[in-house]
Every structure is written in C-alpha cells, then in structure tokens.
Structure 1
Amino acid sequence: MATRNPRSERRNQVLSRERIIETAIELLDAGGEAAMTTRALTERLSTGSGAIYYRVGSRDDLLDAATETLVTAALATDSVVVPSSPEEEIRTVALALFDAITEHPWLATRLTRHVVRKPFGTVTVGIFERIGRQVGALGVPRASWFDAASTLVHYILGAVSQNTRTEGDTPDGSHDRDAFLDATAEAWQDLDAEDHPFMRAVVSQIHAHDDREQFLTGIAVITDGLTRLG
C-alpha cells in the first residue's frame, strides 16, 4: 500500500493559495506593505517565487487577494444579522470595515486604491452594493443613489484612514495615541483665544473623545442628511 511522503504533504499545504495569502497578511500586519516582499514570503513559506506566482500571481495580485480576503470576511461576519433599519445596516457595514482596518492598518491604503482604481473589482462592488441598497431603502431618490453611496463610502474610508497610519508612524500603523493627543491639546491651548475661540473651546474634549463613537456620529449625521433628500 502506497504511503504519502510527510514532506510532500507539508509542501502541498504550505503552497496552497490560502496559505500564501494568510502568510502575506501576517507579514503585512507585522510591518506594512514594505515588509511584504517576495523574499520575505518565500523564506517564510520555504518555497520559490515561481510557486507563489503560479498560485496567486504578482506581488500586486497578492496584495489585492489579501485585501479581498479580509474585506469579504468582514462583510460576511455581519451579513447574517438582519438589520432593524437601513441606518442600522449602514452602521453595521461601516463598523465591520472600521474594525477590519483597525486590526489591519495597511488595509486602509489598499481599500482606497481599490475604490479609486478598481471600481469594477470585487472589493469595491461588494462595499457599494451593501451600502447602496440601504441608500435606496432610506428613500433617497434614484437619481442621487450614486452620490449618496459614494459620500458614505468615502467618509468611511477617509475617517478610518485618519485613525490608522499617518506619516511618521511605525510601518504597521501603530502610534502612541496619548502622546499625539497631548501634543495636539498643548498646541491648541497655546492658540490665541480671540482668533481661535472654537479650537480653544474643544481642547478639553480631545482626550475624552472615542474614535469609534466619533466615527459612528459621522455615519449618523450623513444618513440623517440622506433621509432629507427624498
């Protein structure tokens, strides 16, 4: 009776498309796009670049696949819950993307690229379809559906991106939030009270605010405004 070679079994598992994408995500989470090189990937998987190209494609194809995998999983996780209203469904989708990007900071840049450069791709279509259906349910006139959905999607991506990587942060998008807020509060406190009454007035709110709740407030403001378009 023929027996399987343990080394062959391990090699087949390592070289599966799913395993390659999973490893790429691990590298991206650890150090951002700069860390996800072909060399790093082949070393981690103990294989050659040709095998990776055969199963997934180029490095850009792999980045797209990693993005699609995470976005699809994020949206699928919340799709089983029946929303009580269009507003609740929009909130659910928005939070799913917010949490996915918070966990994987590099995803913010990739998602923006998808929406801008690949409006026909699975990622963009999936997000717009989930959001767009609710825009119609809100009573927005059909002629305004695209503008309304675009406003929501662009807000979601823009707001989440602001809360992740900024210039000067570590490659994986992490940063010292408290130190950043301290510096901001100090700078605003030094502003002239007569020239900048608003900035001086909200200084005390900087540390008190919650990024997630602030994000949801923006969603609520936009959806409330969309209901008035009808």
Structure 2
Amino acid sequence: MVNESVWLRPARRERRPLTLDRIVAEAVALLDEEGEARLTMRRLAERLGTGSTTLYWHVKTKDDVLDLALDAVFGEVPLPAAGAWRERAAALVTGWRAALLRHPWSTGLLDRPLMGPNALERTEFLYATLAGAGFGGADLPAAAFSLSTFVTGSATMQARDPAGDGAAVAGRLLAHREAYPVLAAHGLDPDWDAVFARGLAYLLDGMAARTQP
C-alpha cells in the first residue's frame, strides 16, 4: 500500500503554546460562563486542550488561577490620564465598578489579598491622586479606603441581585409598611447606576471639603 503523500493530507492545526496569559484568559472566560464553583484545574486543562500536568507546570493550585483571574479584571480598569484629582478619582472607581460588574464572580473574591500588579497599580494611582490633592497622614488611607470599599460594596450588592430580587424585597416591605414606613416609601430596588453616582458624589464632596483651607 502506497503511503499518502504529506502534500495530499490536510494540514494539522497546530496547538497554540500554553502560556500563563492564555491560561488566565481561558480561566476568565470559564468563570464568566459558569462561575467559580465550576472552575477546576481539570476542566481548565480540558478547555485549553492540554493535560493537567502541563497546566500545573504554570499554576500550582486553583487559588493561583483565581488570584491571576481577579488581577486580570483589575487590568481592565483604565487609568485616567488627565483631569483634576476629583475627576481622576471618580473615573478610576467608576471604571473599577464596571470591570467588576462585567465579571460578577470577581466580587466574591474581593476578600483575597489584592497583591497582583494590576490591582497594585490601580491602588497606587488612587493613593497618588489623593496625595496630590493634599491628603496625607491618616487622612490618606481613610480617603482611599472610603472610595475603594464603596465601589467594591456597591458592585458586590449589585452582582448578587442579577435577577432583580430587590423588587421582591420592595414588595415585601410594601406589605409591611406599618413596620418599615421609610423603607417601604423608598424601596430597595434601586437604579444602581444612579445610586452609585450619587453616593460617589457624596464621598467626593466631603473629601473636597477636607482639602479646603
């Protein structure tokens, strides 16, 4: 039997080399599609078209993958190039919130140490922006924490209400308006974007007042 010429056989599609960047990108895609509970090293290796042994050469544990994926989300946050301190701070945290909401699973990982290069670069930018506005000493971390915890708390609450469960809560409050009159009047089904923008303005107004002589 004559062997078929290599020139007559369909070309094989070469596999892309396994790199850390490719692993992280695939992990983010898996997390976006199925959430943290479905992420395993075996499933990630399968999606990458490789064996677990090869994957473990790059990352040792699932925790490694989660830390890298979370830092990749921070890498999506633009660093504002211009503007007064207030505009730069507002643009940073608004972009931060948007990145977290694009990847709702990320809000469940915010209790992890944020020591990746992207997270540290954004934190450094926030601190430098506030320091440039005149915040120093204990005021500097207090101002930075106020903004960072506001954005993470807001994104976490919104990400955990994807189906609008707040409307059901508001309905319950209306049914018990005698016990909770103020809550019933204002509801708990907010316009998340409007609430975030208003709350951020409150914080920045207070901070701006602290910078006045």
Contact 1:14 1:45 in 2 (8 A): no
Partner in structure 2 of residue 96 of structure 1: 95
Tell me what 2:160 maps to: 165
Paired residue for 2:125?
130
After TM superposition, the structure 1 = structure 2 runs for residues 143-182 of structure 1, keeping only pairs within 5 Å, are: 143-165=138-160, 175-177=162-164, 180-182=165-167
**Bigger RCO of structures 1 and 2 (CA < 8 A, at least 6 apart):** 1
RMSD over aligned Cα, in angstroms?
2.2
Name the amino acid aligned to 1:228: A
Q: Does the alignment pair 1:216 with 2:169?
A: no
Q: 1:112 to 1:87 in 2, by over 3 A?
A: farther
Partner of 1:42: 45
| SS of alignment partner, residue 112 of structure 1 | coil
Normalising by structure 1, we get a TM-score of 0.77
Cα distance in structure 2, aligned partners of 1:105 and 1:216:
19
Query: Which consecutive segments of 4 or more residues in structure 1 shift more than 6 A?
Result: none
- CA offsets, 1:197-220, max 9 Å, x none? 3223213xx55x421221122211
**Contact between 2:173 and 2:183, CA under 8 Å: does it hold in 1?**
yes
Q: 1:42 to 1:121 in 2, by over 3 A?
A: closer
Residues 1:23 and 1:121: Cα distance change in structure 2 (over 3 Å): closer
Correspondence 1:184 to 2:187: no
Aligned length: 201
| Contact 2:41-2:61 within 8 A present in 1 as well | no
- Report if aligned partners of 1:114, 1:124 keep a CA contact under 8 Å in 2: no
8 Å CA contact retained: 1:135, 1:145: yes
Equivalents in 2 of 1:110, 1:182: separation in Å?
26
Please report the TM-score for the alignment, with normalisation by the length of structure 2.
0.83
User: Is this contact kept in 1: 2:68–2:116, CA < 8 A?
Assistant: no
Query: Which residue is equivalent to 2:31?
Result: 28
* Equivalent position of 2:84 in the other structure: 85
Give the match's secondary structure for 1:229.
Answer: helix
Identical positions, percent: 27
- Inter-partner Cα distance in structure 1 for 2:160 and 2:181: 29
| 8 Å Cα contact 1:148/1:226 also seen in 2 | yes
The one-letter code of the counterpart of 1:186 is G
Aligned to 1:52: 55
What one-letter code is carried by the residue in structure 1 that aligns with 2:182?
F
Task: Return the match for 1:226 from 195, 207, 210.
Answer: 207
